[in-house]
């Protein structure tokens, strides 16, 4: 009766029984069947076309079609983001919308939106050009007559100085016609426009050098940035006016303006004409502004319409893409006009999968129903544990070490309790625990809000582990009550550590002894649990080698030394003995036959110690040597039997290849086995669990330092300002050091204790996860 109850308990620790199934689905109902299986989410398909490229598969065209629709949806998302719109999470489901209609609708919307964007860009560019033109007319008109007179006077003076002088100092761009024809000497051309302010100085220098000073340039600063017609960005610019004479100079100036991206605009010499042009440009700007506003309003309305249905369309396209991705994994039987699928599913899901296939057959009016057939295989199935939002985070801690082998005992069940408890042993303070609990309850109560948002890396990590942190906080409150710790202010209550120890000279030695012994007891208990679980794993997998040459010597070695030490600790606590346990354990090895005298705790202790010491010594070679040699012998026997089997099947090359492939990855390395067994043997040391003692003391002492040396010290100055500063420092130190750094430190140490000291005793973690085809796993990924 007891053994049966224990077996039932162990069954709860193991993964769901899995089976390899084959589905034979008629082509007409294949799409519907895969869709329903995606809604069910309990079937993991195997790729039966792994040797084919994506373009050689049956549904490559449909995948390309879905990819094109996904591209259009990404384009709509980008446009909505630019507009500052978010897709509505409440999409109205359109029952009459199929994929063909959706494809046509997306194409129409994309074409229209691209056309609207192109027209809008042209209008915006024209508007920016007219706006620049208006600024040029206003600015250039202010200094145009004065600049023209100055340029003419400068030209006359220049010509008077150089008339008839053909020396090498004459300007290179001086036109011959200006010398021969006096009527052309004062005829000046001009350019007006805008140049980026950051380039204005270089622009002026290049003009001067290229024309040898044969130009007159004047610039005016525009106070506000203007939109550049080409780039569409706001740029600080200057208005310029250039007066020149001669065609060669004109050509040089045009090339320099193009190089500096200086936009040129024509300006009339006549002031009346300038005013008229300003009025005309202003009218055109007003008309363009109205047109642009109407276009933007139409674009915004269109994007809002798209946004209201975007999530529905996105889910439809993603589902369709996932369905055809799965269909491409199926084997196509041309003769029978059906698709053959293979995959893993839990045994409990058999009836659900069969019902789903029947529903697909009825909905598609198929004359032939789908067939569900269980296959027998030697392949290891994937591992599947049913979890919920509470237990999933704890299971993720275990899976981060390694996914459980199929039907291997799952440490996640124990981790729900042991992980937060070991954390709390190191973090025990019910004041700090309450702070952690309040912070975590905020995430728990707002989980619907946060689960639908994209969070930062740190926030997402905290939100994902909210239930772990909540349990850590609850256990910290419990151990804080036991330790009598509340921000290092221990009140008196009738359980836990006596607060009278607080502040005394013997406080640290007392807590040091208490927490070290407590750490040893907890470590021995958890290590024994791990070894016991290794027995149930070995029994389940019928591995007698692990039972006799791993479980038995490990139990003997651990309990002969550290189990015995735990017994002495308990006896000493119960009897109030003054025995020195350090002396007892040291001389148990050095002088096992000596009398214990005042360190004797019970009758027959010396004899028991000798027996335990001999057992511990015998257990070391028992753990180290037999198993590797027996494994080597088993491997040689299997290799020999396989060789005989290959001789019988020499006429079947396919079967020979299968045998070779199945055993290639199981090559036996005797040296590696010896090293692994040696490491496994020397791991039985309790030093790792003493971190519970060290971190618990450190947390308590840091809390005491912050309270005594900061808060109480500030209180003693009898100054409000000093007290406020002291409180601020105390709060910052408590949050930064004790609630953040110490939490992280205790978390990592608890993680190591579970991975190395607990799971390593029984957990191989060399399996692979069950990833069923499920629409619930569709994420907002940008592919």
**Rounded CA gap, 265 and 194, in Å?**
8
Bigger pLDDT: 728 vs 682: 728
On whether both 432 and 528 belong to a single domain, the answer is yes
592-618 pLDDT, tens per residue? Answer: 999 988 999 999 999 999 999 999 999
pTM as predicted: 0.79
Average pLDDT score over residue span 543-556? 93
Sheet containing 216-221, strands listed edge to edge, beginning at the edge strand earlier in sequence: 216-221, 237-244, 189-196, 263-265
Residue 234 Ramachandran class (φ > 0 left, ψ -120 to 50 alpha, else beta): beta
Task: Verify that 547 and 681 share a domain, yes or no.
Answer: yes
Same-domain status, 594 and 681: yes
| DSSP structure class, residue 383 | B
Closest by alpha carbon to 736, among 745, 723, 724? Answer: 745
Cβ proximity of 97 and 317 under 8 Å: no
Q: Which of 111-120, 505-514, 631-640 has the lowest mean pLDDT?
A: 631-640
Would you state the pLDDT for residue 525? 95
Same domain, 472 and 431: yes
Q: What's the average model confidence in pLDDT over 208-225? A: 88
d(CA 581, CA 157) in angstroms, rounded, equals 112
What's the pLDDT tens digit per position in 39-56?
999 999 999 999 999 899
Mean pLDDT to the nearest integer, 496-509: 83
Predicted confidence at residue 161, as pLDDT, reads: 58
Task: Name residue, tokens 């990819």.
Answer: 67
Task: Answer yes or no: is pLDDT of 177 > 50.
Answer: no
Q: CA dist 92 to 76, 97, 253, 306, 320, Å?
A: 18, 11, 61, 12, 19
In a domain, 262, yes or no: no
Is the domain of 414 the same as that of 516?
A: yes
Instruction: List beta partners, residue 239.
Output: 194, 220
Q: Note down the domain range covering 713.
A: 392-541+694-767
- Backbone CA torsion sign across 264, 270, 272, 273: negative
DSSP conformation letters of 113-177 = HHHHHHHHHHHHHHHHHHHHHHHHHHHHHHHHHHHHHHHHHHHHHHHHHHTT--STTS-TT--HH
pLDDT band at 213 (very low <50, low <70, confident <90, very high): confident
Residue 211 scores a pLDDT above 60: yes
533 pLDDT exceeds 90?
yes
Burial class (CB in 10 A: 0-12, 13-18, 19+), 772: buried
How far, in Å, are 137, 153, 291, 585 from residue 288 at the CA level?
A: 19, 42, 5, 95
Q: Phi-psi category of 666—alpha, beta or left, where left has phi over 0 and alpha has psi -120 to 50?
A: alpha
Look-up of token digits 């975007």: 310
| Element containing residue 331 per DSSP (H, E) | strand 331-333
Q: Which residue has the higher pLDDT, 604 or 681?
A: 604
Q: Which residues contact 561 (CB under 8 A, 6 or more apart)?
A: 612, 616
Of 656 and 384, more confident: 384
Residue 504 confidence class, pLDDT cut points 50, 70, 90: confident
Whether the pLDDT of residue 263 is over 50: the answer is yes
pLDDT of residue 747: 96
| Tokens read off for 617 | 């010594």
What is the C-alpha to C-alpha distance for residues 63 and 75, in angstroms, rounded to an integer? 18
Domain closes at, from 654, 687, 720: 687
pLDDT at 646 over 90: no
Nearest residue to 765 (alpha-carbon basis) of 412, 472, 500: 412
Q: Are residues 474 and 439 in the same domain?
A: yes
**Tens digits of residue pLDDT in 81-130:** 998 888 876 655 555 678 999 999 999 999 999 999 999 999 999 999 99
Shared-domain flag, residues 417 and 529: yes
Report d(CA 100, CA 82) in Å as an integer.
28
* Cα–Cα distance, 767 to 101 (Å, whole number): 44
Q: What whole-number percentage of the chain has pLDDT above 70?
A: 86
Residue 759 lies in a domain: yes
Q: Which of 779, 687, 772, 703 is closest to 738 using CA atoms?
A: 703
- Output the domain CATH number for residue 26: 3.30.70.120
What span, in angstroms and rounded, lies between the C-alpha atoms of 75 and 313? 13
Instruction: List pLDDT tens digits, range 366-377.
Output: 888 999 999 999
Residue 769 has phi, psi (to 5 degrees) of -75, 150
Q: Is 532 found in the same domain as 554? A: no
Mean pLDDT of the chain: 86
- The confidence score (pLDDT) of residue 150 equals 61
Q: Which residue has the higher pLDDT, 658 or 779?
A: 779
* Of 428, 358, 339, the residue nearest 692 (C-alpha): 428
What tokens appear for 19 in the block? 């089976």
CA distance 242 to 144: 10
As beta bridge partners, residue 346 has 18
30, 330 in Cβ contact below 8 A?
yes
Predicted pLDDT of residue 780: 45
Q: Write down the pLDDT at residue 350.
A: 96
Same domain as 442, residue 346: no
Q: DSSP character for 758?
A: I
Task: Note whether residue 317 is domain-resident.
Answer: no
What confidence tens digit (pLDDT) does each residue in 277-316 have?
889 999 999 999 999 999 999 999 999 999 999 999 999 9
Whole-angstrom distance, CA of residue 615 vs CA of residue 593: 16
Over residues 372-395, the mean pLDDT reads 94
Specify the number of domains making up the chain: 3
The whole-angstrom separation of Cα 688 and Cα 750 is 10
Residue 287 confidence (pLDDT): 93
Range with the poorest average pLDDT among 122-131, 172-181, 671-680, 700-709? 172-181
Instruction: Decide if pLDDT at 653 tops 60.
Output: no
| Same domain assignment for residues 421 and 551 | no
Mean pLDDT value across residues 184-211: 85
Residue 732 located in a structural domain: yes
Q: Looking at the predicted structure, is the pLDDT value of residue 488 above 90?
A: no
Least confident of 126-140, 303-317, 373-387, 489-503: 489-503
- 396, 536: one domain: yes
Q: In the numeric block, which tokens belong to residue 145?
A: 């007559």
What SS3 class is residue 267?
coil
For the stretch 344-359, pLDDT in tens is 999 999 999 999 999 9
How far is the C-alpha of 566 from the C-alpha of 516, rounded, in Å? 11
Would you say residue 56 lies in a domain? Answer: no
User: Encoding tokens for residue 753?
Assistant: 């204790």
- Rounded to whole angstroms, the Cα distance separating 650 from 655 reads 9
Q: How many CB atoms lie within 10 A of CB 683?
A: 14
Asked if pLDDT for residue 273 goes beyond 90, the answer is no
* Distance (Å, whole) CA 380 – CA 363: 35
Q: How confident is the model at residue 11 (pLDDT cuts 50, 70, 90)?
A: low
In the prediction, which pLDDT does 157 show? 60
- Taking only Cα atoms into account, the Rg of the chain, rounded to an integer number of angstroms, comes to 42
- Let me know if 426 is exposed, middle or buried by CB neighbors in 10 A (0-12, 13-18, 19+): buried
pLDDT tops 70 at residue 191 = yes
pLDDT number for residue 642: 61
Calpha distance 581→587 (Å, rounded)? 10
- Report helix, strand or coil for 360: helix
**Inter-residue contact 424 to 749 (CB < 8 Å):** no
8 A C-beta contact, residue 611 and residue 592:
no
Let me know if 226 is exposed, middle or buried by CB neighbors in 10 A (0-12, 13-18, 19+).
middle
Distance CA 215, CA 209 (A): 10
Based on the fold, state whether residues 361 and 472 are members of the same structural domain.
no
pLDDT of the residue at 180: 45
Helix (H, G, I), strand (E, B) or coil at 78: helix
- Other C-beta atoms closer than 10 Å to the C-beta of 458 total 8
Asked whether the beta carbons of 753 and 421 are under 8 A apart, the reply is: no
667 pLDDT higher than 90: no
Residue 709, in any domain of the structure: yes
Long-range CB contacts (< 8 A, 24+ apart) of 350-358? 350/19, 350/21, 350/374, 352/40, 352/42, 353/21, 353/37, 353/40, 353/42, 353/43, 356/33, 356/36, 356/37, 356/39, 356/40, 357/23, 357/25, 357/33, 357/36
């Amino acid at each position: 009766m007891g053994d049966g109850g224990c077996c039932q308990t162990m069954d709860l620790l193991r993964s769901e029984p899995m089976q390899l199934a084959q589905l034979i689905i008629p082509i007409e109902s294949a799409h519907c069947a895969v869709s329903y299986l995606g809604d069910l989410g309990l079937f993991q398909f195997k790729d039966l076309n792994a040797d084919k490229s994506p373009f050689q598969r049956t549904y490559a065209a449909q995948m390309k079609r879905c990819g094109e629709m996904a591209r259009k949806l990404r384009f709509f998302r980008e446009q909505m983001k630019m507009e500052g719109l978010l897709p509505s999470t409440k999409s109205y489901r359109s029952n009459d919308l199929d994929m063909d209609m959706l494809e046509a609708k997306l194409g129409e919307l994309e074409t229209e939106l691209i056309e609207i964007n192109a027209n809008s860009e042209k209008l915006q560019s024209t508007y920016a050009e007219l706006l620049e033109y208006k600024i040029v007319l206003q600015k250039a008109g202010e200094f145009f007559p004065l600049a023209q007179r100055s340029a003419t006077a400068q030209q006359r003076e220049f010509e008077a100085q150089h008339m008839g002088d053909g020396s090498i100092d004459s300007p290179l761009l001086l036109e011959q016609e200006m010398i021969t024809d006096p009527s052309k000497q004062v005829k000046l051309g001009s350019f007006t426009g805008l140049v980026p302010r950051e380039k204005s100085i270089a622009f002026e220098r290049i003009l001067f050098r290229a024309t040898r000073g044969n130009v007159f340039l004047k610039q005016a600063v525009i106070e506000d940035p203007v939109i550049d017609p080409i780039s569409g960005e706001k740029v600080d610019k200057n208005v310029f006016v250039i007066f020149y004479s001669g065609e060669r100079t004109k050509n040089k100036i045009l090339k320099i303006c193009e190089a500096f991206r200086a936009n040129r605009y024509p300006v009339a010499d006549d002031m009346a004409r300038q005013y008229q042009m300003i009025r005309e440009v202003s009218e055109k700007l007003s008309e363009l502004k109205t047109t642009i506003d109407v276009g933007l309003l139409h674009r915004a309305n269109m994007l809002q319409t798209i946004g209201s249905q975007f999530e529905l369309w996105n889910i439809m396209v993603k589902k369709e893409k996932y369905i055809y991705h799965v269909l491409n994994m199926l084997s196509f039987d041309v003769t029978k006009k059906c698709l053959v699928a293979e995959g893993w599913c839990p045994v409990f899901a058999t009836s659900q999968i069969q019902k789903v296939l029947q529903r697909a057959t009825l909905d598609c009016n198929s004359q032939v129903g789908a067939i569900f057939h269980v296959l027998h295989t030697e392949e290891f199935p994937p591992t599947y544990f049913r979890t919920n939002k509470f237990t999933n985070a704890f299971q993720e801690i275990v899976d981060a070490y390694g996914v459980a082998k199929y039907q291997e005992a799952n440490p996640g069940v124990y981790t729900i309790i042991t992980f937060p408890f070991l954390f709390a042993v190191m973090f025990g303070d019910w004041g700090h625990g309450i702070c952690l609990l309040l912070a975590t309850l905020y995430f728990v109560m707002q989980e619907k809000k946060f689960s639908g948002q994209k969070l930062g890396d740190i926030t997402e990590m905290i939100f994902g582990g909210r239930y772990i942190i909540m349990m850590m906080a609850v256990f910290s409150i419990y151990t804080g009550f036991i330790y009598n710790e509340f921000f290092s202010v221990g009140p008196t209550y009738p359980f836990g550590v006596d607060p009278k120890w607080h502040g005394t000279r013997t406080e640290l030695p007392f807590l040091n002894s208490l927490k070290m012994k407590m750490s040893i007891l907890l470590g021995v208990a958890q290590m024994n649990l791990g070894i016991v679980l290794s027995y149930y794993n070995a029994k389940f997998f019928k591995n007698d080698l692990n039972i006799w040459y791993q479980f038995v010597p490990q139990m003997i070695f651990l309990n002969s030394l550290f189990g015995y030490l735990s017994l002495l600790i308990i006896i000493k606590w119960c009897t109030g003995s003054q025995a020195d346990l350090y002396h007892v354990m040291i001389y148990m090895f050095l002088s096992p036959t000596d009398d214990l005298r005042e360190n004797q705790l019970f009758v027959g202790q010396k004899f028991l110690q000798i027996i335990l010491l001999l057992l511990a010594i015998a257990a070391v070679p028992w753990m180290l040597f037999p198993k590797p040699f027996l494994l080597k012998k088993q491997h040689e026997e299997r290799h020999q039997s396989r060789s005989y089997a290959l001789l019988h099947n020499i006429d079947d090359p396919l079967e020979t290849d299968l045998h070779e492939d199945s055993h290639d990855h199981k090559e036996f390395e005797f040296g590696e086995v010896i090293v692994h067994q040696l490491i496994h043997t020397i791991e039985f040391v309790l030093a790792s669990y003493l971190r519970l003692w060290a971190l618990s003391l450190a947390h308590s002492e840091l809390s005491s330092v912050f309270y005594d040396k900061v808060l109480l010290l500030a209180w003693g100055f009898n100054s409000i300002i000093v007290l406020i500063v002291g409180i601020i420092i105390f709060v910052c130190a408590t949050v930064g050091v004790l609630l953040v750094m110490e939490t992280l430190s205790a978390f990592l140490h608890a993680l190591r204790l579970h991975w190395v000291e607990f799971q390593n005793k029984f957990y191989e973690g060399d399996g692979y996860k069950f990833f069923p085809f499920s629409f619930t796993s569709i994420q907002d990924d940008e592919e």
